[in-house]
């Protein structure tokens, strides 16, 4: 319940949640860069993804969470966000992406593919770094 925003848990873990935001600031942006490379490899629109990242990521409640969400929305031409339900409470999240088309079930598969290719890009980067430093 770290950083959970309701009356009971509002202050419990707030420092840990902010520390998590800080520690993951650079890795989240590196992940975004890996995602853009993955989109190029996977034949999705990296240009739309970058534009969505620039336009929408900062609207997310998390300084880091909006990056992958906005990138996927831009790449797929969909709009994410809007009304969500958490523990029976309706909560609005800022929209991410232009919503050039309606979301379809196949977008789940496409997002998973992007995730796997992003992981591959990151692994190649990691192996390259290890080789260059003599590991």
pLDDT at 16: 78
Check residue 75 and give its pLDDT: 98
Gap between the Cα atoms of 31 and 81, Å rounded: 20
The per-residue pLDDT for range 9-33, each reduced to its tens digit, is 667 677 778 889 999 999 999 999 9
| Mean pLDDT, the chain, whole residue set | 91
Check pLDDT > 70 for residue 69. yes
Q: Is 90 exceeded by the pLDDT of residue 57?
A: yes
pTM of the model: 0.87
Q: What is the token pair recorded at 72?
A: 């996927």
- Among residues 54, 36, 52, which one has the least CA distance to residue 44? 36
Q: Find how far residue 49's CA is from the centre of its chain.
A: 11
Residue 49, pLDDT above cutoff 90 = yes
d(CA 19, CA 25): 10
pLDDT of residue 124: 96
> Tokens 């600031």 — which residue?
25
């Amino acid at each position: 319940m770290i950083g959970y925003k309701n009356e009971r848990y509002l202050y419990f873990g707030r420092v840990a949640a902010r520390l998590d935001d800080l520690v993951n600031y650079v890795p989240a942006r590196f992940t975004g860069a890996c995602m853009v490379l993955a989109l190029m490899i996977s034949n999705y629109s990296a240009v739309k993804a970058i534009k969505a990242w620039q336009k929408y990521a900062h609207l997310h409640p998390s300084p880091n969470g909006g990056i992958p969400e906005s990138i996927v929305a831009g790449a797929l031409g969909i709009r994410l966000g809007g009304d969500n339900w958490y523990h029976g409470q309706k909560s609005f999240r800022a929209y991410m992406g232009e919503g050039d088309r309606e979301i379809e079930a196949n977008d789940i598969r496409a997002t998973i593919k992007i995730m796997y290719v992003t992981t591959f890009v990151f692994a190649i980067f990691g192996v390259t770094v290890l080789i260059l430093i003599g590991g």
